[in-house]
Amino acid sequence: MDLIERYIVTQTQRLVLTIIGFLIFIFASYSAQRYLTEAANGLLTLGIVLDIIFYKVLIALEMLLPVGLYVAVGVALGQLYNDSEMTAIFASGASPLRIYKAVLWLAIPLGLLISLLSLYARPWAYGKIYQLEQQSQSELNVSHLIANKFNVNNDGRMVLAAKIDSVANVLTDALIYTSSDNKSHVYRARKVRVLDTVSASPSVLLQGGTSYVLEHQGSKDQKMIYQDQHLQLKAIQQATYMKRKSASTTTLSRSTDPADIAEWQWRESRGVNAILMALLAISLSRIKPRQGRFTTLLPLTMVFTLIFYGGNLCRTLVANGTFPVIPGVWLLSLIMLVGVMILIVRDFSLGRRISR
């Protein structure tokens, strides 16, 4: 690596680490706020919250890393243009190709890392999050519950108890509410003994109470008074989109479902798009001397917005079968590649003028 490339890499690398670190902190803080609220409500334990935040950050890295590199390249090179250092580099006879070469020194390794995260780490993390959320929603773990409080999980089950014995797994003066597509079930019991706390469909013994079956449509409501009644609470099914996001890349590559193909192409294109975004930032960083290093943020933001929504639109259209799977999600990458080639030609033309 020559002096010019090393200098550009050094300037950009510091900014990449700073921006990515800041983005990770902001995203982790946002995720923590959301899930700590659920922990405070008794829906999740602190250990599960920390695990979910870790997996969420791991998933977000496929977006945070490209954004960090993209912004860092634009701002770092913008500073060089602002200080007239880039003018001096071109005036010395250096080719614009050396600028692209320097950026690729960072973009290619980071692009490979993003590809690995997208292809393997992201689906693994989605699977782990699903397992933790399903466990917390499906289990009737007494230690999660708070007395005299409506403890509601994301599937709509509600448990209310005047007293909770977390050692014996017993609820006193309890109310359990569950709902299906066309019926709601309400169980009022003097005591509820939790027989199976870790199953996907936990089992409880209701002692001394009344149960109600309420029809959502019609008037065939039922009431039953009992002394002892076993109740098997329903298991929570994984949503289709979660199954797709947590599916292995190999499974998706063998599928003929357009939605699976869209997800597969999305994963494969992440690393390539990150490199192309970094190359686009080179031309977008061009400013006049003394305009300010952050002048580049406006064009960088506008182009990133187009890339972000364009990618989501392509994936949605392919998943719906509206757009053909070839080129599919790769259409955005092809458009970005054409844009990079056009800007490279422009930069070489400007570089020749400056060197003269």
Q: What does the pLDDT look like over 206-251, one tens digit per residue?
A: 888 888 888 877 777 788 888 888 777 655 555 555 678 888 888 8
The confidence score (pLDDT) of residue 241 equals: 56
Q: For residue 327, is the peptide bond before it cis, meaning its omega torsion is within 30 degrees of 0?
A: yes
Identify the pLDDT of residue 115.
94
Determine the pLDDT at residue 40. 65
- Nearest partner of 180 among 241, 236, 240, judged by Cα: 236
Give the mean pLDDT of 82-103: 80
CA distance 88 to 80: 10
pLDDT at 197 (0 to 100):
57
Helix spans in the chain (H): 3-40, 46-82, 85-91, 97-116, 122-138, 240-246, 249-253, 258-284, 297-319, 330-355
Which residue shows structure tokens 């490279």? 344
Q: Find out whether 194 and 204 touch, Cβ atoms under 8 Å.
A: yes
Query: Are the CB atoms for 152 and 42 separated by under 8 Å?
Result: no
Residue 162 is encoded by which pair of tokens? 């005047």
pLDDT at position 153 is 67
Question: Angle 188-194-200 (CA atoms, 0-180°, nearest 5)?
Answer: 105
Average pLDDT over residues 338-351: 79
Over range 290-315, report the average pLDDT. 83
144 within 8 A of 42, measured Cβ to Cβ:
yes
Q: What is the pTM of this model?
A: 0.72
CA distance 12 to 291: 19
Token look-up 């844009």 returns 339
Hey, how many other C-beta atoms are within 10 angstroms of the C-beta on 324?
11
- Flag whether pLDDT at 199 surpasses 60: no
User: What was the pLDDT predicted at 114?
Assistant: 95
- In sequence order, the 6+-apart residues with CB closer than 8 A to the CB of 139 are 197, 198, 199, 202
- Whether 333 shows a pLDDT value over 90: the answer reads yes
CA gap 304, 63 in Å, rounded? 12
* Domain extents in the chain: 3-136+240-355, 141-232
Beta carbons of 290 and 87 less than 8 angstroms apart: no
* 175: its two tokens: 């109310």
- Quickly state the pLDDT bin for 289 (edges 50, 70, 90): low
Distance CA 250, CA 244 (A): 12
Looking at residue 151, its amino acid is N
Name which of 119-123, 257-261, 327-331, 348-352 the model is least confident about: 348-352
- Quote the percentage of the chain above a pLDDT of 90: 28
pLDDT the model gives residue 144: 66
Token representation of residue 337: 């590649």
Cβ atoms of residues 296 and 91 within 8 Å: no
CA distance 42 to 166: 13
pLDDT-derived band at 129 (thresholds 50, 70, 90) equals: confident
- What pLDDT, on the 0 to 100 scale, is given for residue 11? 84
**CB–CB of 60/29 below 8 Å?**
no
What band does 101 get if pLDDT is binned at 50, 70 and 90? confident
Helix 330-355, helix 297-319: angle, nearest 10: 150
Name residues whose C-beta falls within 8 Å of residue 251's C-beta, 6 or more positions apart in sequence.
260
Look at 24 and 92; give whichever has higher pLDDT. Answer: 24
Give the tens place of pLDDT for each residue, 13-67.
Answer: 889 999 999 999 999 998 888 777 766 665 566 777 888 889 999 999 999 999 9
Give mean pLDDT, residues 89-98: 77
Percent of the chain with pLDDT over 70: 83
Q: What is residue 205's predicted lDDT score, i.e. its pLDDT?
A: 84
Q: What is the mean pLDDT of residues 312-330?
A: 90
The answer to whether 285 and 295 have CB atoms below 8 angstroms apart is no
Structural tokens at position 63: 């977006």
